[in-house]
Structure 1
Amino acid sequence: MTADVWLPLPPDEIEGLPAGPEYRFWNGEKDFPADPADCSFYVVPYMKPAEVVVRPLPQLGSVQVVQTLSAGIDSLEPGLKHLRPGVQVCNARGVHEASTAELALTLILASLRGVPDFVRGQELGEWRGGFRPALADKSVLIVGYGSIGSAIEDRLVPFEVARVVRVARSARTTERGPVHPLTDLPRLLPEADVVVLITPLTESTRGLAGADFLARMKDGALLVNVARGPVVDTKALLAELESGRITAALDVTDPEPLPREHPLWKAPGVLISPHVGGPTSAFLPRAKRLIVNQLTRFVNREPLANVILTTGSPDA
């Protein structure tokens, strides 16, 4: 095999790459590292704007695999129409579970226990004591029960939550219990103290947490979004926050990055982190392992892991 492989990491920094391909380093720079027409395996630059990562797609005439380093492929979707039929598009399942689940738990605990208020008090030299909500004995609803949702549940269990309720696109049964379909949300939302969003961004989940969804949440409930910003209707969320009825912890927003003057920054009862669920010290070793594993499979003509869709197929 002599076809090119485009990597967003320098090849000499990835131990175990299989021999055969010509490895090219490209992390979104203006100039391409070689002729895109010769690229057979494209590993998408991580945390780059959609317009950057899709720019090569119309010229990838011989590409066979597009591999993201993100859990979702929404940034790629505008450019998928440029790919020829039969291209396998793979996500980064196995890379972000630990980091994103850690952050989800951090946001839950920080919000419930009032950590932002403690920080403000420290800046002013004020001792702000009193009772705060605990995570223990709470009911947590996870909306989007895939590998990251499962990892979030792993970390919730030791905190003695009353129960974890799981929701995904379709119903199924796991060793831990049932996974409810999205259609069950109207009946499940009023029972949850904490609602965690970790769904992929699709046309069916865009605006999922809209006015009706939020209105069904119980008074005093906490909404945690570690999915994608547009899964939540920002205007509807602002209305609920301003009323003081619910609180929110958001690692992602719509728009994103959140403009300095946006009212969400100063809304009551909201904690905002700047989309940092994935980029931690855990990312790089897991991303490198994924790249090596996928390329080894590719070179040996073995089935790839994490195939989300194949272009030109009926469900693509």
Structure 2
Amino acid sequence: MTADVWLPFPPDKIDGLPDALRYRFWNGGPQYPADPADCAFYVVPYMQGMEVALRPLGAMTNLRVVQTLSAGVDHVRPGLDRLPAGVQLCNARGVHEASTAELTLTLVLASLRGIPDFVRGQQREEWQSGFRPALADKTVLIVGYGSIGAAIEDRLVPFECARVARVARSSRTTERGQVHAFTDLPELLPEADVVVLSTPLTEQTRGLADAEFLAGMKDGALLVNVARGPVVDTEALLAELESERLHAALDVTDPEPLPAGHPLWHAPGCLISPHAGGPTSAFMPRATRLLASQLTRFAADEPLDNVVLTTE
């Protein structure tokens, strides 16, 4: 089997690649490394935006696999109608769970304990003592209980939360207990001190945290978004923040990147990180292991992991 594989990293940086494939390095630059029509396996450049991700798809007439290096595939879905039937779309399950869960706990703890206020106080040489909320004894609701949601719960275990509730697209039972369906949110939201959004962006979840969702949260609750910006209705969230009824910690925003002058930057009780959940030192080792494994399977004509869908 001989086929072109487009990689966003130089192939000599990835251990364990099978010799049977031809590797082309492309990370979104203006010049393609080869004819896109010869590409059979396309690894989407990481964090280069939708325009880059979709640019070569229409010319990839012999494509068989699209592999993202992100957990979400929303930046690729708009281009799937350009592809021939039978193309498999695979995500990066297993790559981002640890680092995204780490950041989630960082945002929760920093927001509850007032770390941004401490930083500003240090800059002004002000000693700001007093009581702050703790994560201990709080109820946490995880909305989006896939592999990242489960990794977040793993890291909540030592913090002595009163309860962790889980919500996903459909209800099921896990070793840790019940996973509720989205339809149960009206009953769960008023009980949660911290609501973590870790769901994929789909038509079902776009605008999920709208005015009604936010109004259902208890006074003083914290909303943490490590999913995608459009999962939250920005205007509705701003109204709650400006009234100081809710707090928020956002790793993703809508729009994104958040432009200068946007009111979210200075909204009361809002902590913002610049989509930092995935790009850490944990990314490259996990990403390259995934690619080596997937391409070994591909070269051997074995079933791939992490298949999200197959084009028709």
- Per the normalisation by structure 2, the TM-score is 1.00
* Cα distance between partner residues in 2 of 1:161 and 1:116: 23
Residue 157 (structure 1) aligns with: 157
Aligned residue number for residue 241 of structure 2 = 241
| Structure 2 unaligned residues grouped into runs of 5+ | none
| Partner Cα distance (1:173, 1:299) in 2 | 37
Deviation at 1:77, TM superposition (A): 1.2
- What's the CA shift for 1:176? 0.3
Q: What corresponds to 1:280 in structure 2?
A: 280
Give 1:2 shift: 1.4
Report the Cα distance in structure 1 between the residues aligned to 2:186 and 2:61, rounded to whole angstroms.
46
**Equivalent residue for 1:140?**
140
Matches of 2:132 and 2:124, distance apart in 1: 20
SS of residue in 1 equivalent to 2:118: helix
Residue type of the partner of 2:141?
L
| Corresponding residue number in structure 1 for 2:10 | 10
Match of residue 177 from structure 1: 177
Aligned residues: 312
**Residue in structure 2 matched with residue 41 of structure 1 by the alignment:** 41
- How many percent identity over aligned positions? 76
> What does the per-residue CA deviation read over 1:9-67, in whole Å, with 9 as the maximum and x for residues that have no partner?
00011111011110000000001000000000000000011011100100110010000
2:118 counterpart letter in structure 1: F
List runs of 5+ in structure 1 lacking aligned partners: none
Write the distance in 1 (CA, Å) between the matches of 2:262 and 2:22: 46
Deviation (angstroms), 1:78: 1.3
What's the secondary structure of 1:253's corresponding residue? coil
Q: For residue 224 of structure 1, what is the aligned residue in structure 2?
A: 224
Tell me the distance in 2 between the aligned counterparts of 1:129 and 1:60: 60
Query: What is aligned with 2:127?
Result: 127
What's the CA shift for 1:271?
0.2
TM-score, normalised with respect to structure 1:
0.98
User: Is 1:71 the equivalent of 2:76?
Assistant: no
Give the letter aligned to residue 194 of structure 1. Answer: V
Q: Distance in 2 between matches of 1:243 and 1:220?
A: 11
Q: Please, what is the CA RMSD of the aligned residues? A: 0.4
Render the CA deviation track for 1:88-139: whole Å, top value 9, x for unaligned: 0000000000000000000000000000000000000000010000000000
Task: Tell whether 2:50 aligns with 1:50.
Answer: yes
Match of 1:256 in 2: 256
What is the CA–CA distance in structure 2 between the aligned matches of 1:78 and 1:31, rounded to whole Å? 22
C-alpha separation between the residues in 1 aligned to 2:106 and 2:93?
21
Distance of 1:180 and 1:300 partners within structure 2? 39
One-letter amino acid of the counterpart of residue 87, structure 1: V
In structure 1, how many angstroms separate the alpha carbons of the residues matched to 2:227 and 2:243? 24
- Distance in 2 (CA, whole Å) between partners of 1:79 and 1:197 is 26
Partner amino acid, structure 1, of 2:119: V
Distance in 1, Cα, partners of 2:33 & 2:241? 48
- Report Cα offsets for 1:262-315 as digits up to 9, x if no partner: 001010000000000000000000000000000011011111000000001xxx
1:179 counterpart letter in structure 2:
V
Instruction: Give the corresponding residue for 2:188.
Output: 188
Paired with 1:90 and 1:2, the residues of 2 have a C-alpha distance of 21
The ranges of structure 1 where at least 4 consecutive aligned residues each deviate by more than 6 angstroms after the TM superposition are none
- In the alignment, which residue of structure 2 is the partner of 1:61? 61
Q: Partners of 1:98 and 1:268 in 2: how far apart?
A: 29
Amino acid at match of 2:91: N
For the residue of structure 2 that corresponds to 1:41, the secondary structure is strand
Distance in 1, matches of 2:145 and 2:47, equals 23
